Every structure is written in C-alpha cells, then in structure tokens.
Structure 1
Amino acid sequence: MDLQHFLCWRIAPLLLLLPCGFQCMSVHIVNEEPVHVIPGSILVLKARIEHGPLEQICMVTWEREPETGFNPEKVTLGMCSGRGLKCTGMRPTGRVTLEEQGATLKIAGYTVADGGVYAVTITDQTGAKVTGHCIVREYEAVNHVSVSINVSHSSLVCGEAWGTDPHFSWLHERAAITKSVGNVSLDGKTLFVSTRPICGHFTCMVKNKLGYSTATYTAAPCEMEDKGTTVAVVCLVIVLLLGGVLAFLLWRRHRYSGRGERLHEHFDDNI
C-alpha cells in the first residue's frame, strides 16, 4: 500500500468525528423544474433548508435573474433575517410574500416579467452561504398544430410549436381511433394507420390547461366496402316481404271466394 492510500485510510475516520460545519448546511427548491406558471395566477416556490446542530441560519434571501443574457441583473425579491428570521418583501408592489421563515416564496399576479432563474440563499452565523436554484417560465397555450404524413411507414405525425405540457389525441372522421383504423404511439404524437390505402379525415387534437388546437389531414374519401352487396341484400329483403304479403292476400281472397261458391251450391241443392 502506497503512502497516499495509507493517509486516506487514516484520515477518513477522523473526518467523520469532526463536528458538522459548513458541509451540513444545504438548501434546494423542491418544485419540479422548470416551473410553469399561468399568467395572472400565484407563483409558489418552496425551499428545503437543512443545517447541522452547531449551525444557525441567520438570513434567507430570495433573488431572481433573467434566464438568458450576457450580463444578467439580479433582483432581490425578499429576505428573512435576525432573531426568528423576520421576513420582508423588497418589491414595493406588495406582490411578494415570504412565509415559513423564508422557506416559501409567493408572487401574486404572475406576469411574463416574473420569469427567470430564482435563487434562495441561506447564510449561517459564520457568514457561510449555500444557494439553491430553480427556473420559472410562463405557461403557454398550444400553438401551430400540424399533421404530416410518412408514406413509407403509413403513419401520421402531429407537431406542435411551443405549448406547455401538450397532450395529443387523434380522431378519424370525427370519431375516436379504433384498432381497425390504427394505433397511437405512447406519446400520442404518431398514428400508425392500419387501413390501406390511407383514406378519410384524420384530426390531431392538442390540449393543455389553457385550451386546445387541432389540425386535420385529408386523404382520398374512403370507399364503403360491400356497399353494393348491402344494397342488394336490402332490396332482396324488401322484395321477399312484399311477395310474402301479396301471396298471403291472394291466398286469403281465394279461400273466402271458394267458401262463398260452396255455400251457394248447397243452397241450390236444397231448393
């Protein structure tokens, strides 16, 4: 065993015995990133703050900066400091509030200008700092839905420009897709058509929380299979019904007319 490995094995147990300092303090934003917010609603960001027994959180600060740009300028949204971490919002409009000793940030009336990279920084009694980040963007409606065909694979592909969290579904002749028409991929974007050739109207519907948009691919009209046979069968049934009714009427007429002749003959014999 060389000297480097020997020192590592000897020093590592000693580090475990040291009191927990800066390495034990951590903070991160628990919201799933990126966070998409509908304009006009409330943005809520929650942070998980952890620290060791010998550490004391003296300040919690929330900041925001643009997601892109060469010289992004940070804006302080609010901070909590002092004994008990008393919180104050830095924005004069009063839209920003801090709760749970700075662990929760709320911004009312979200606008496009509120998007960007949010940072929460905690500071202990020694001045040591750690920061957690989260990207916040506007929740956008679905836009520019289109349908294209892949002839070689007998499939239709649905595309959408930039909507947030789009969900795809398909219709054929305004009805839900069945196994006889085709199969839809797991993400809903592709329809593998079973019918040959591809015919009729195929509509892709894309929707999210703000609404929906559609696009339609129109192929040649579908020929009704066995249409002539169906018409012939219907006509035959009608003819048979009419023939049966006519035969019944003729039989009934003949029956009653024969009975009348026999009665007349019997009356003549008696005279």
Structure 2
Amino acid sequence: MALQRFLCWRIAPLLLLMPCGFQCMSVRVLNEEPVHVIPGSSLVLQAQIEHGPLEEVSMVTWERESETGITPGKVTLATCAGKCAGTRPNGRVSLEQQGATLKIDGYSGADSGVYAVTVTDQAGAKTTAHCIVREYEAVHHVSVSINVSHSSLVCGEAWGTDPHFSWLHERVAITKAVGSVSKDGTTLFVSSSPICGHFTCMVSNKRGYSAATFTAAPCETEGKGTTVAVVCLVILLLFGGVLAFLLWRRHRYSNRGERLHEHLDDNI
C-alpha cells in the first residue's frame, strides 16, 4: 500500500509536466460536411471546444483557403482573443459564443473553400479543425435515357446540390400499373412492354427545378381511343348531314304542295 502511494506521488507531477497530459484541448466543427450555402444567405459555422481544468482558451482564429489549395492561400477571417469579443474585418464576418461560432452575411461563391478554426491555449499549443463549404448549386441539364434490356428509364442531372427526383407518365404521377421508382428516384422501372407514351423526370432542390421528357411510341390504348373518337365524329357528321337533307327536302315538297293547292283554287 505504501509503495502504491509512493508511486502515485511520483507519477502525478510527471503527468502534469507533459505537454498535454491527459487533458489536451480539442476542437471540432459541428456542421455536417460539406456545408452548402445558398448565395445571398448567411453562412454559420459552429465549433465545439473542449478543454480540461488546466487549459484555458487564449485565442480562436478562423481562416479560409481554396479547396484546391491554389492561391491566394489562407485568408484570416476573424481572430478572437482574451474575452473573445470578436472582430468584423470587412463588416460581413462576426464571431459569437466566445469565438466558437463564425457568421458570414451575404454569402457568395468567393466564400467557398476549406474553413479552419484554430484554438490556442495559454501555453501556445494549437489545435485545428476543418470544414468544407460550397455554394448551393441549382439544378442543371436534366436528361432521360432508356435501358431497353432492363425496361427502365434513367434520369440524370449535371451538378445540382441535393437533387430530388420525381416521375410523371402522361403528366400524371407514376402508378403501380405504369411502373416503380428506385429509392434514389433516378430510375423508373416500367411495367408495360413495350415502353410507350411520354415519361417526364422532374429534378428539384431549394433553388428551383428542371425537367426532361422521354417520348416513346403512342400506347395502344391511346391509339384505340383516338380512332374511336374519330369514327364517332364521322358518324355524327354523316347522321347530321342526312338529317339536314331530309328536313330540307320535306320542307321543299311542303312548299311546292301549298303553291299547287293555291293555283287550283285560283282557277276554280
């Protein structure tokens, strides 16, 4: 027992003299990466700073650099020291919650890149966390292609952020009789064979939507319906013409009989 106490008293000071001991300061960005921001709105990044009772935050620094690492290199956005009142170097950037929250108003494409938050303790030790920020892109270049061997239609979109896919057949939502849609919405498995009619894929996100239509041969039901309508129209026109002719003829003979009767009365 005495030996254990002796070892504890000897080891404890050594742990305290270590650079981090068992209580190193840590920082991480809470936002889910990558962060997509709509132009004109506000970018808000939140960091969580953890430290033990022996550490103190002396400075918090937020920086940004290109995602590709090309010039102009790192740009210091805001630095917070002491009580962390924060700085606003260009009127758009502010710090809150003792530097743990960075806010940039009026986001634009130039604000995209890799953001770094660096926390410095009282001994000058630094720890850094990173987060990728990108512009929220609108939907672009929607297209529909057919996979004949699998009786399916595939919808593609160029580079929109968080695209959502939906399908229409003849401007009506897809039913089980028409087919089924994959979980990600990009593929429509058509039940009928051969594929016929008009299929429209609509892709949307927070910035709008775009659509593309695949046109196959007319469905048989559509052809029959059109033929029946045309035949009915022709029959109605013929019937109407015959009826009009009979009425005209009856009216004509009726007038002729009246004139003949009047002529006989005059002769008498």
Deviations 1:180-210, CA, capped at 9 Å, x for gaps: 1000000000000000110000000000001
Please state if 1:158 is matched with 2:155: yes
Residue 87 (structure 1) aligns with: 86
Correspondence 1:42-57 to 2 at 5 A? 42-57=42-57
Q: Using a 3 Å threshold, how does the CA distance of structure 1 residues 122 and 199 change in structure 2: closer, same or farther? A: same
Q: Normalization by structure 2: what TM-score?
A: 0.75
Aligned match of 1:170 in 167, 186, 190?
167
Aligned mates of 1:221, 1:108 — CA distance in 2: 53
Residue 219 (structure 2) aligns with: 222
Residue 194 (structure 1) aligns with: 191
**% same residue:** 77
Deviations 1:204-244, CA, capped at 9 Å, x for gaps: 0000001000000000000118958xx7xxx9xxxxxxxxx
Contact 2:27 2:129 in 1 (8 A): yes
Contact 2:85 2:95 in 1 (8 A): no
Aligned mates of 1:22, 1:43 — CA distance in 2: 35
Residue 39 (structure 2) aligns with: 39
Residue 182 (structure 2) aligns with: 185
Contact 1:115 1:138 in 2 (8 A): yes
Q: Normalization by structure 1: what TM-score?
A: 0.74
Give RMSD over aligned pairs. 2.2
Correspondence 1:71-110 to 2 at 5 A? 71=71, 73-82=73-82, 84-89=83-88, 91=89, 93-110=90-107
Deviates more, 1:65-74 or 1:180-189: 65-74
List, as ranges, runs of 4+ consecutive aligned residues in structure 1 with deviation greater than 3 Å.
17-23, 69-72, 225-228
2:74 is matched by which residue type in structure 1? K
Unaligned 5+ segments in structure 1 are 1-13, 236-271
Unaligned 5+ segments in structure 2 are 1-10, 233-268
Contact 1:22 1:128 in 2 (8 A): no
Deviations 1:4-39, CA, capped at 9 Å, x for gaps: xxxxxxxxxx69x93564752100110000000000
Residue 66 (structure 2) aligns with: 66
Equivalent position SS for 2:110: helix
Residue 251 (structure 1) aligns with: none
1:53 is matched by which residue type in structure 2? P
Aligned mates of 1:216, 1:225 — CA distance in 2: 18
| Pairwise CA distance, 1:160 | 0.1
Aligned mates of 1:99, 1:106 — CA distance in 2: 8
1:202 is matched by which residue type in structure 2? F
Aligned match of 1:147 in 116, 125, 144?
144
1:68 is matched by which residue type in structure 2? T
Aligned mates of 2:52, 2:174 — CA distance in 1: 58
